[in-house]
Amino acid sequence: MPTNKTTDFTGQSFYVGLDVHKKSWSVTVRTLGLEVAHFSQAADPDHLVRYLHKRYPGGDFISAYEAGFCGTSAHCSLRRAGIQNIIINPADLPQTDKQKKNKNDHNDSRATARYLEAGILRSIHIMTDEQQELRALFRLREAKVGDVTRANNRLRSFMHYFSIRFPAHLQDRQYLSNAHLDWLRTVNSKTQQGQDTLFQYIEDLVYHRKQLLGLTKKLKAAVLNKYPQYYASGLSVPGVGSITAIGLLTEMGEPDRFDDPDQYCSWLGLVPAERSSGDTVYSVVTQTRCNKHLRPMLIEAAWVAIRKCPFLLAYYKKHVGKDSKKAIIKVPAKLALIILAVMRNKTTYNPAK
C-alpha cells in the first residue's frame, strides 16, 4: 500500500506484539483500539524498525515479546532504535481456553499486542549483558555438575553389571576418589572391548570433574571480583556455602534489585500457592513458578542451617507441626530474607539482632 507522504502520526502510540522465533517473527500492530497491521517478517529488528517508521512516520512505538531462547539482543536493538520494547514472562500473557486450544504464532502476537495496548503487561527484570554472561557461567557449571553425576552413574552401573567390587578398604566410601579410580584401572576385563569400555567410563568421569573444577574456580574469581562484600556477607549466614552465595549473586545481581520482600520470595518460588473455589480451599506448599536454579539450593541449605543456627531451629520447630516437609519450606524463605538483608547492609549475620 503506498504511503501518503503528508501523513504524520506524531504523538500517536502504536502497540506492537511480537512472537519471535529463530527464522521469522510474527508481528501485530494496534492503535486506537484497532488492529492496523498483521504480518510475518524475517527475524531482524532493523527490518521491523524500518517498516514502522516508513508506514507510521512520527509515531510512538511500544513493543513486547515473550522471554525465551533469543535472550535480550532483539530488545537492545529495538531500544537503541527508539522502540519502547519490553520482555514479558510467557506465563503472564492472559489467554482464554479458546486461545490455548488454538495456539499459533499469529494468535500469540495478536494477544501480546492487545494486552500491551490495554496496559496490563509488565516487563521482566532485564540484566546487563555482563550480568547475563556471569549467570550463563553459573548455569554452565550447574550443567557440568549433571555431566559429572551421569559419568559417575554410568561407571557404577558398568561395575554392577559385571560384578566389579571394590576391595574392603574402599567399599565404605561413597565418593569415587582417585584411590577408587586408580584401583579400577588395575581391573582386567575378559576382553579388550570390556577393558576399553571401563577405561572410557573412568576417563569420562575424570574429564568432567576436571572441567567442573575449572569452571568453579573461574566462577568464584568472577564473583569475588564483582561482588566481594556481598559474597563475604552471604557466607556468614549458617547453611550458606560458596556455591549458594555464588548462585544468588549470579542469578539475582545487585541485592538492591528487590524492594519488596514478598516479590523476592515469589521470584525464588518460596511462597505458598492457593486454588480455592467456594468453600473448597486447596493450598500447596510452593508455587510452580520459581527460579529453578536457586530454590533447590536454598532448600538444601535450610536443612544445614537448622542444624547450625539455634534461631532457625526454633523457627523450624514453630512451624513443624506434623509435616516436616511443609515446615522446611518456610525455613529457606526465612534464610533467603536473611541472606538478602546481610548482603544489602554488607554486614555479617548476627542472630541476636
pTM of the model: 0.88
**At residue 305, what is the residue type?**
A
In a domain, residue 1? The reply is no
What is the model's pLDDT at position 277? Answer: 60
What are the tens digits of pLDDT across the range 69-95? 889 999 999 999 999 999 999 988 888
Residues 222 and 244 in one domain: no
In a domain, residue 49? The reply is yes
- Looking up cell 557449571, which residue turns up? 141
**Is the four-CA dihedral 162, 163, 169, 172 of positive or negative sign?**
positive
Residue 284 in grid coordinates? 500447596
In terms of Cα–Cα distance, which of 352, 248, 244, 220 is closest to 302?
244
What is the model's pLDDT at position 274? Answer: 64
Parent domain of 213: 129-226
In a domain, residue 352? The reply is no
In a domain, residue 6? The reply is no
Please say which residue of 174, 191, 226 terminates a domain. Answer: 226
Residues 104 and 186 in one domain: no
Residues 83 and 107 in one domain: yes
Residues 163 and 256 in one domain: no
In a domain, residue 163? The reply is yes
**With contact defined as beta carbons under 8 Å apart, do 251 and 269 qualify?**
no
**With contact defined as beta carbons under 8 Å apart, do 38 and 29 qualify?**
yes
Residue stretches of the chain with pLDDT short of 70: 1-6, 273-286, 322-328, 353
Alpha-carbon distance 29 to 35, whole Å?
A: 6
Residues 142 and 203 in one domain: yes
Residues 320 and 218 in one domain: no
Bridge partners for 276 per DSSP: 281
- Looking up cell 521469522, which residue turns up? 24
In a domain, residue 63? The reply is yes
Exposure class string for 275-304: b at 16+ Cβ within 10 A, else e: eeeeeeeeeeebeeebbeebbebbbebbeb
Please say which residue of 180, 198, 226 terminates a domain. Answer: 226
**Residues in the chain, overall count:** 353
What is the model's pLDDT at position 41? Answer: 96
Q: What share of the chain is helix, strand, coil (3-state, %, to 5)?
A: 55, 15, 30
Residues 248 and 334 in one domain: yes
Exposure class string for 18-54: b at 16+ Cβ within 10 A, else e: bbbeeeebbbbbbbeeeeebeeeeeeebeebbebbee
Residues 221 and 270 in one domain: no
Cα distances (angstroms) measured from residue 292 to each of 37, 59, 130, 216, 296: 38, 40, 21, 20, 7
In a domain, residue 73? The reply is yes
Residues 236 and 340 in one domain: yes
**Is the four-CA dihedral 175, 178, 181, 183 of positive or negative sign?**
negative
What is the model's pLDDT at position 326? Answer: 65
- Looking up cell 500457592, which residue turns up? 273
Number of structural domains (the chain) is 3
Bridge partners for 18 per DSSP: 27
Residues 335 and 238 in one domain: yes
What is the model's pLDDT at position 1? Answer: 43
Please say which residue of 226, 251, 275 terminates a domain. Answer: 226
Non-local CB neighbours of 135 within 8 Å, separated by 6+ positions: 127, 250, 251
In a domain, residue 304? The reply is yes
